[in-house]
Amino acid sequence: MDWGGTMPTHATFLVSAPDQPGLVARLAGFFYELGLNIVDASNHSDAYAEGGLRFAMRLVVDLAALTSPKAAGLLSGNATRRALEEGFAALVTALGGTWSVGYDDVRPRVAILVTKEASCLYDLVLRQRSGELPCEIPIVVSNHATLEPVAEGFRIPFFALPVDAATRPAQEQQILALLAAHHVDLVVLARYMQVLSEGFLAKAPPIINIHHGFLPAFQGARPYHQAHARGVKMIGATAHYATSDLDQGPIIEQDVARVTHGFGPEELARVGRDVERVVLARAVRAHLERRIVVEGRRTILL
Amino acid sequence: MDWGGTMPTHATFLVSAPDQPGLVARLAGFFYELGLNIVDASNHSDAYAEGGLRFAMRLVVDLAALTSPKAAGLLSGNATRRALEEGFAALVTALGGTWSVGYDDVRPRVAILVTKEASCLYDLVLRQRSGELPCEIPIVVSNHATLEPVAEGFRIPFFALPVDAATRPAQEQQILALLAAHHVDLVVLARYMQVLSEGFLAKAPPIINIHHGFLPAFQGARPYHQAHARGVKMIGATAHYATSDLDQGPIIEQDVARVTHGFGPEELARVGRDVERVVLARAVRAHLERRIVVEGRRTILL
Amino acid sequence: MDWGGTMPTHATFLVSAPDQPGLVARLAGFFYELGLNIVDASNHSDAYAEGGLRFAMRLVVDLAALTSPKAAGLLSGNATRRALEEGFAALVTALGGTWSVGYDDVRPRVAILVTKEASCLYDLVLRQRSGELPCEIPIVVSNHATLEPVAEGFRIPFFALPVDAATRPAQEQQILALLAAHHVDLVVLARYMQVLSEGFLAKAPPIINIHHGFLPAFQGARPYHQAHARGVKMIGATAHYATSDLDQGPIIEQDVARVTHGFGPEELARVGRDVERVVLARAVRAHLERRIVVEGRRTILL
Amino acid sequence: MDWGGTMPTHATFLVSAPDQPGLVARLAGFFYELGLNIVDASNHSDAYAEGGLRFAMRLVVDLAALTSPKAAGLLSGNATRRALEEGFAALVTALGGTWSVGYDDVRPRVAILVTKEASCLYDLVLRQRSGELPCEIPIVVSNHATLEPVAEGFRIPFFALPVDAATRPAQEQQILALLAAHHVDLVVLARYMQVLSEGFLAKAPPIINIHHGFLPAFQGARPYHQAHARGVKMIGATAHYATSDLDQGPIIEQDVARVTHGFGPEELARVGRDVERVVLARAVRAHLERRIVVEGRRTILL
């Protein structure tokens, strides 16, 4: 939404819980009783979750009235964000669910991991600079030095950490240390051409990867060459959360572009890069806006 | 959602009201207190409505618990659909809003108006027969006899009402009489190549039209010839509610297909027909599922 | 192209040969010397063919001047189509290539094989009736009786040939006999849910199949259920020539439609049906217009 | 095509002529007789041109054999590009046509005109740097200083030439002088928010403009606001040659992206920017590859 002049401060709550009567009313009612206005809300009951019907809801709440006497009274006189979170946590716990929250005035910090290809890196940084991606980009990390000038051109600290089979454990420790030191909330693999270990994935923040193929087709290496050999008529790209099963993580966004028999692998790659950038940017934006609920191998986008 | 065996009976409520704090909580709370489960809900606050922020919500409610003592008690002991509607009406009136309701076991009745082109007629009837369009199609009306065999083949009563400038008022009265006699809830103009008078539009049920152009480009007659002369690279179709401003009604759905310089007007029409059918079917389905709120010249799809 | 009143008779030649200097000039020159006008021509040199660069060309020739003294003289005085073909064959043989030809006034005969789903059958027949698919449809064959009324409604002979593992060889012989008796040039599997034996494929005319998935993803059975379980964000369909490797034949056409987390397998199937129909119709049309050259596992569309 | 190691030098000829028998054979024959191999060829007969059927052909010729005795003999012993061009010109003149030629080793020089928006500028430069756009970018010209750091970051000379109604004639003269001094072959208006005078257009090289709307809808200013007010469900962009009729020049490329009722004008602009960049890049690439023939208000893309 376009808010004209000053943007009020919003909190975005994301909830997932076993489906049960009254969920919408009770979650919305929590904020209603506090006098906080819900400026956007959406929910979904997923009939295909393992373990039965599963409910997810996203609520964007205007915090302007948080310091009203009414809210303060209900929050034991202490109208802080922490008190609000504690109250909400109590409700969600009673419903058997999980939740998270983000605030408009606290920008998530995103680390970008790259190898040699500049296209996605430029794209993400330019979108962040233009305000399309509401985040900070404190660091760019690569296993090569190729893209140092790009990062430096935008005055983003760049770390080149070469890696081979022998040095992988140590290199991953270095990356984890950088992520921790820079308070990174999200890692984006913008054509980072290295497999990450299970140990790394367990310790890192959420990771979004762009796969340059229309998963689940063309898993693994050189997907454009695979696509060419198979003679496909459309080229796709898939953004997904990275998991220890390579190319098997929950899909966030996909798109395709039409190609013809006249396109060789290099031209498929060229067309594919346009798709990759848009798909990756949409996925990162959805994550930053706290719209994504992971449900097994699937994602719900609210 | 796929409900497996028996489908419970659902009511779908559609509400529009000036935005105000607590709307989600109060609307959801109404059903929660009655013990009726909300199986699907979505809402939208429209920042661009004339007259200030406008709220729209769609709630799909499971009626299974309507006859429980709890619900009956709250509805003055009379747990009928009418009582439920009266209770809901009181709430929405208090909020300054408008609303409507539909029930899964009451299928809307759709009249299809055609001229000579069979493509959209076949498509709508086949989708209705396959269950994709949850409605009855009690009549097909045309100003020509061309498509009688198609309607008869599906055993749908067919009325041929020729029209020219002199007979238009009388012919429109005939159509209105047919719509009334057959309890028609929705009229679909499936390539009905006649302008309808303001008087007709005022008395008829809602009317969805398919325009074979990407509105607002190519308004008026022979849009494929216009598109060809202009050398466009994509062909579109637009489904919209008919209003007295020709081709200016609120747009419900649009789509396009890619074309090349090699396509003459006839081939643009061929490609366009594929787009038209899909766009019209999606719009009719959205209307039947009670997903569309008209907001000035725009539609909100919930 | 839109030819206004009478359509002149055209021949469409399709050639494939090892690439070599002068191919365009020599092939076009053959018709130029005869005084036959080339009304459409396109060619492609495929850099990825096995065995080196491979050339393909499609030429649409106006036969009006075939009976001119000039042409007759060059064709040994006998200006027949057969003489034209013999002359062209001699040229292409000298180039080490292969070729085929079709004539506008000889409509290919297409057999449609179905099981129980009506969507693609209706679609193909309606497109044939409207002139979009330049062919005859002499028979519909099924392993079930479900769609008999559809075929009969269009007055197309319908053959129900049930099949199980034990009767497959005999049933396939019956189908082959029907194809031969009705002079079938092309078989379209319009959701024919049976695997065809290698022996059948060897003896049958070319076969186009519609796979209701975005191949090579989701090969095999129940692709919409596979797609749902994997949480994809787009649903596709693939038309390909049937080969003895199931779902591995050369891809002719693909397309996709966007879906969301809210779509269950049944709704994916509904969306998918719209894509299937369009993709299958485009592939059949390209084949009928003699635009497709198969090059290993890929197709060139001219 | 992917040529592996060294790229042979190619010439690309683009021809337009009144349709007549033997055109393909005679044009291809010209190069065949010289012993020059045609590596790519495509042609189109346009049935909708004013003044009768119009033929267009693109031929990509390998120049390797230009210095062979055979070619030299036919070109009066002087096997230069100029001699080749003179020979070709004589043929095309005899056919009543027009033609142009480009060489792989002579990169066209493209000037980019911008105002304040960086998105298209970054995109074009990055594509040029990656090899996607085979051209030089000698200058960036703007009526504001905003984008100087972007151009300077890529070491492209940047000229800021402010303009208002009074200074327009003088400013346009300055731009024309810059274009001439830098030997500019193509001007790209990458969101240059100024109307260019008829006089400027007459003297400048070809100009490609990106319009941030799906022309012919939403001509003129603020197309995203227009699109929002009209409630469209898809957002488009159109690349076209600039002519003195604003937004009426021949369309080269268009594309669209889906939007919903939830998108305000700012978000439509965000989605639109992704479409704009891709559409503009495709149009510029097609021009650089000499694929575009202008036919009245339409373009033929070969």
The predicted structure's pLDDT at residue C67: 87
Of the partner residues C1, C25, C42, the one whose CB lies closest to the CB of residue D25 = C25
Q: C21 vs D35: CB contact, 8 Å cut-off?
A: yes
Q: B260 vs D48: CB contact, 8 Å cut-off?
A: no
Conformation bin of residue C133: beta by default, left when phi > 0, alpha when psi is -120 to 50: beta
Of the partner residues D21, D26, D38, the one whose CB lies closest to the CB of residue C35 = D21
User: Does residue C8 belong to the interface with chain D, where contact is any CB pair within 8 Å?
Assistant: no
User: Does residue B278 belong to the interface with chain C, where contact is any CB pair within 8 Å?
Assistant: yes
Distance CA A218, CA A231 (A): 12
Number of other CB atoms surrounding residue B285 within 10 Å = 17
Q: Which subunits count as partners of chain B given 3+ CB pairs below 8 Å?
A: A, C, D
CA proximity to B34, closest of B90, B75, B1: B75
Indicate the SS3 state at residue A190.
coil
- Segment B207-231 shows an average pLDDT of 84
User: Does residue D68 belong to the interface with chain C, where contact is any CB pair within 8 Å?
Assistant: no
The predicted structure's pLDDT at residue D7: 57
Q: D232 vs B251: CB contact, 8 Å cut-off?
A: yes
Q: C231 vs A262: CB contact, 8 Å cut-off?
A: no
**What's chain D's average pLDDT?**
92
The predicted structure's pLDDT at residue D2: 44
Active site residues per annotation of B: 247
C247 catalytic per annotation: yes
**Distance between A254 CA and the closest CA of chain C, angstroms:** 6
Q: C254 vs A236: CB contact, 8 Å cut-off?
A: no
CB neighbours of D193 closer than 8 A, spacing ≥ 6? D115, D116, D143
User: Does residue C50 belong to the interface with chain A, where contact is any CB pair within 8 Å?
Assistant: no
**Distance between A123 CA and the closest CA of chain D, angstroms:** 9
The predicted structure's pLDDT at residue D1: 40
pLDDT tens column, B136-194: 999 999 999 999 999 999 999 999 999 999 999 999 999 999 999 999 999 999 999 99
pLDDT at A4 over 70: no
The predicted structure's pLDDT at residue B3: 41
pLDDT at B7 over 80: no
- Please provide residue C188's backbone torsions phi and psi, each rounded to the nearest 5 degrees: -115, 120
The predicted structure's pLDDT at residue B6: 52
The predicted structure's pLDDT at residue D245: 81
pLDDT tens column, D159-206: 999 999 999 999 999 999 999 999 999 999 999 999 999 999 999 999
Helix H segments across C18-80?
Answer: 23-34, 69-74
Q: Which residues of B touch C122 (CB under 8 A)?
A: 122, 126
The predicted structure's pLDDT at residue B290: 97
**Distance between B167 CA and the closest CA of chain D, angstroms:** 34
Of the partner residues A1, A24, A40, the one whose CB lies closest to the CB of residue B38 = A24
Q: Which residues of D touch A265 (CB under 8 A)?
A: 2
Q: C25 vs D22: CB contact, 8 Å cut-off?
A: no
Q: Which residues of A touch B26 (CB under 8 A)?
A: 32
Q: Which residues of C touch D42 (CB under 8 A)?
A: 42-43
Q: Which residues of B touch A260 (CB under 8 A)?
A: none
Top pLDDT among D220 and B124 is at B124
Q: C254 vs A264: CB contact, 8 Å cut-off?
A: no
**DSSP-assigned beta bridge partners for residue A256:** A236
Strand D158-160 relative to strand D98-103: parallel, antiparallel, unpaired? unpaired
**Side-chain half-sphere exposure of A261, counting CA atoms within 13 A:** 26
Q: Which residues of B touch D44 (CB under 8 A)?
A: 261-262
Distance CA B14, CA C167 (A): 55
Indicate the SS3 state at residue D38.
strand
The predicted structure's pLDDT at residue C143: 97
**Prediction pTM value:** 0.90
The predicted structure's pLDDT at residue D60: 94
User: Does residue C165 belong to the interface with chain D, where contact is any CB pair within 8 Å?
Assistant: no
State which residues of chain C have pLDDT below 70. 1-7
CA dihedral C61, C66, C68, C73 (to 10 degrees): 110
State which residues of chain D have pLDDT below 70. 1-7
Active site residues per annotation of D: 247
> Would the ipTM clear 0.95, i.e. be above it?
no
**Distance between D240 CA and the closest CA of chain B, angstroms:** 10
pLDDT tens column, A113-135: 999 999 999 999 999 998 999 99
Among C1, C7, C24, the strongest candidate for a mutation testing the D interface, having the largest count of D CBs within 10 A, is: C24
Number of other CB atoms surrounding residue D8 within 10 Å = 11
Distance CA D95, CA D104 (A): 26
Closest-CA residue of B relative to C267 is B1
User: Does residue B233 belong to the interface with chain D, where contact is any CB pair within 8 Å?
Assistant: yes
Closest-CA residue of A relative to B1 is A47
**What's chain A's average pLDDT?**
91
Q: Which residues of B touch A37 (CB under 8 A)?
A: 21-22
Q: A25 vs B29: CB contact, 8 Å cut-off?
A: yes
Residue pairs between chains B and C whose CB atoms are closer than 8 Å: 28
Indicate the SS3 state at residue D149.
helix
The predicted structure's pLDDT at residue C6: 52
- Segment B232-237 shows an average pLDDT of 91
**Distance between B68 CA and the closest CA of chain C, angstroms:** 30
- Percent helix, strand, coil in chain B, to 5, is 35, 25, 40
Contact B161, B147 (CB under 8 A): no
- Segment B71-89 shows an average pLDDT of 90
Q: Which residues of B touch D47 (CB under 8 A)?
A: 264
The percent of residues above 90 in pLDDT, for chain A, comes to 70
Q: How far is CA A62 from the centre of its chain?
A: 23
Q: Which residues of A touch B25 (CB under 8 A)?
A: 25, 28-29, 31-32, 38
Of the partner residues C40, C45, C258, the one whose CB lies closest to the CB of residue D45 = C40
Confidence grade of residue B216 (pLDDT, cut at 50, 70, 90): confident
Closest-CA residue of C relative to B275 is C278
